[in-house]
Amino acid sequence: MAQIVELTPANFATEVLNSKIPVLVDFWAPWCGPCQMMAPILENLAQELGDKIKIAKVNVDDPDNQPLAVEYQIQSIPNMKLFKNGEEIASFIGVRQQASLRQDILDKLS
């Protein structure tokens, strides 16, 4: 069973930049309604695509995570960034339907 990884500046390089498989990073906050709507969609995608992609989350409200939010220019949430071989290859902003997000991810990885 695939699990969503909680990211911090301490594990970001290991979990994302040095990952052997692509990583979808969800920049979110607990107070964000649209972020809460995306949570079950991302959990489902983690189950569905677990062998093809890793899904991870960065809580931008956590002061320790502010450097990541700044580095990746997070100005609105939910903001999901797709990384492959340590490089950002796509960005998805706002609430997305599960089927369209899955297809967009697979299209970017093909």
- Residues with catalytic roles: 32, 35
Give the tokens for residue 61: 């409200």
Q: Sort residue 46 into left (φ over 0), alpha (ψ -120 to 50) or beta.
A: alpha
- What is residue 84's three-state secondary structure? strand
